[in-house]
Amino acid sequence: MYLNKSHSFAESANRRSLLYSALAMTALALSACGGSSSTPATASVRVVNATLTHPSIDMLVNAGTASAATALDSVSAYSVPASGAATLQVNDAGLATALTTTTSTLTGAAHYALLSYESGATVKSVLLPEDWTVPATGAASLRVYDIVMEAGKLDVFISSNPLSGSGDLAAMSPVGSFAASASTSVLTLTYSPGTYYVTVTAAGNPGDVRMMNMPVILTNQEVASVLLTPASGSQLLNGSLLIQQGAYSAFRNTNTRIRLASAVSGNATVAASASAGASHLSIDGGSVSPQFGSYVLLPQGSALNVSVNGASVAAPATALVAGADMTLLVFGAPGSATASLLTDDNRPPSDATTVKLRLINGISGNANNMLTLTANSATAASAVLPNAVSTYSAVASSLNPMNLSLYSSQKAGVYYANTSYVLNTNSVYTVLAAGDFAAPLLLIR
């Protein structure tokens, strides 16, 4: 019995040994082919340089350089930081000062693109995932990201051929729209492989084109993302195409939005147009001054043509800026008028409860007439010379008409007042003071 019992114990031990060996081999095999239940130790992150003014950037993860010297309009290779909580920092290449910092949690084995872009003089970043489900054969997935909060509500159009202008857009329906939002929004669309063109307008207004005919080539079972970022003026858009875990290409807006502010005295008729190659584009066909028009889209290289009472006025010395909003100011007496270009900043105020204002002094007849503008007694601009413009200021908003008052360095008391304008909260306005010194007027847009 003892021998048999001892034999039984030996058999049990052998069986246990074989079982443990088999379990260990199974665990090793699962680990080798990714079957472990533990979280992978690293993620994959790359950086996109879609800024406006930073020719080369570094990306740091948890204070260590992960990607160095990514050139403007390009994407870096993937770095492989540890999964978990991460601080993602973007610097100018080789410099220690952070341009922007983003805190996120990286999932092991996941892929990400850190999109770095510019709004005004501020660099911002948003982390985009790059592990979306691959579409079925014969299809491609197109994701359109709106990262331009300051541009307001937008409509997106996609065509199989380039569009010629707002006439084509008026006959189409948008594939989707973006509401004004404080965060990134996305449209997810499915198309057959082929070449498409993305156009974006202000919501409900096909005449207000913000980006025209960005080409997108989609291949079978591809996931492609169109990234909409601010151009220099905040209302026009730059685009770029990011292929999931693949190539990147940029589409810079080469147009300028321009409007006419005519402040010529004597009820003169002011007209403005532009020539771009064989095309002749009207800015204002001729209006009695003072007038403050709406924006018109022009190719950056357009030549400006200005006339007062039919007589040509020299074009501004300043060139049109691609992606910018600009005001064409025509100022002075009819026989000696001058034209200049002002750069507009149509980003909403940083405090959404305020109104952003600036003043153009277009009043003729007194070269020493410096103007100060108040809005409900708050100073919005001060000591603005004739044929000049102030910086922007934020003033408290009101549901009632705003009391806009002008004060002149050449006249005691209130020079001119207007209480007929209700200014919308979180909006941007330019006040044009125009007319002769003895009979000033205010126009606002």
Per-residue pLDDT tens for 211-252?
Answer: 999 999 999 999 999 999 999 998 999 999 999 999 999 999
Residue 111, token pair as written in the block = 């892929």
Mean pLDDT of 290-317: 95
> Which CATH number characterizes residue 212's domain?
2.60.40
Same domain, 139 and 249: yes
Specify if 23 maps to a domain: no
Contact 214, 131 (CB under 8 A): no
Instruction: With CA atoms as reference, report the closest residue to 261 among 434, 383, 416, 437.
Output: 434
pLDDT at 56 over 60: yes
Specify if 20 maps to a domain: no
* Cα angle for residues 112, 116, 122 (degrees, 5° grid): 150
Structure confidence by residue, pLDDT tens digits, 130-141: 999 999 999 999
Same domain, 310 and 421: no
Under 8 Å CB-to-CB from 280, ≥6 apart: which residues? 273, 274
Of 206, 230, 253, which marks where a domain is finished?
A: 253
pLDDT at 28 over 60: no
Q: Return the bridge partners of 101, or none.
A: 89
Structure confidence by residue, pLDDT tens digits, 320-342: 999 999 999 999 999 999 999 99
DSSP 303: E
Same domain, 321 and 397: no
pLDDT at 368 over 50: yes
| pLDDT at residue 121, rounded to an integer | 86
Domain containing 241 equals 132-253
pLDDT at 46 over 60: yes
Q: How many domains does the chain have?
A: 4
* Cis ω for the linkage preceding 334 (within 30 of 0): no
Instruction: With CA atoms as reference, report the closest residue to 426 among 26, 149, 63.
Output: 149
Same domain, 248 and 259: no
Instruction: With CA atoms as reference, report the closest residue to 409 among 443, 376, 385.
Output: 385
Q: Quick one: pLDDT band at residue 39, thresholds 50, 70, 90? A: low
Same domain, 223 and 141: yes
Specify if 13 maps to a domain: no
pLDDT at 19 over 90: no
Mean pLDDT of 142-170: 93
Specify if 280 maps to a domain: yes
Mean pLDDT of 386-401: 96
Instruction: With CA atoms as reference, report the closest residue to 172 among 128, 209, 227.
Output: 209
Specify if 36 maps to a domain: no
pLDDT at 16 over 50: no
Specify if 71 maps to a domain: yes
Of 206, 223, 253, which marks where a domain is finished?
A: 253
| pLDDT at residue 38, rounded to an integer | 60
Q: Quick one: pLDDT band at residue 415, thresholds 50, 70, 90? A: very high
Sheet containing 248-251: order of strands: 185-191, 140-146, 223-230, 237-243, 248-251
Specify if 333 maps to a domain: yes
The reply to whether the predicted model has a pTM over 0.75 is: yes
Residue 277 backbone zone (phi > 0: left; psi -120 to 50: alpha; other: beta): left
Under 8 Å CB-to-CB from 53, ≥6 apart: which residues? 118, 121
Same domain, 170 and 119: no
pLDDT at 198 over 60: yes
Contact 202, 190 (CB under 8 A): no
Percent of the chain with pLDDT over 70: 91
Q: Distances in Å between the alpha carbon of 13 and those of 19, 26, 97, 240?
A: 10, 20, 65, 66
Same domain, 293 and 336: yes
Rounded to whole angstroms, the Cα distance separating 193 from 187 reads 18
Contact 110, 132 (CB under 8 A): no
Specify if 416 maps to a domain: yes
Same domain, 139 and 241: yes
| pLDDT at residue 436, rounded to an integer | 93
Residue 292, token pair as written in the block = 């403050």
| pLDDT at residue 40, rounded to an integer | 83
Same domain, 238 and 262: no
Whats the size of the chain, residue-wise? 445
pLDDT at 31 over 60: no
Extended beta strands in 277-370, E state: 279-288, 291-292, 296-299, 303-308, 311-313, 325-332, 338-344, 354-364
* Rg of the Cα atoms in the chain: 30
pLDDT at 194 over 80: yes
Mean pLDDT of 194-222: 97
Same domain, 120 and 201: no
Percent of the chain with pLDDT over 90: 85
DSSP 82: B
Same domain, 233 and 270: no
206 or 32, higher pLDDT:
206
Same domain, 193 and 116: no
| pLDDT at residue 328, rounded to an integer | 98
Rounded to whole angstroms, the Cα distance separating 248 from 228 reads 13
Indicate the average pLDDT of the chain.
Answer: 91
Backbone phi, psi, residue 430, to 5°: -115, 130
pLDDT at 205 over 80: yes
Of 344, 378, 413, which marks where a domain is finished?
A: 344
Rounded to whole angstroms, the Cα distance separating 421 from 359 reads 15
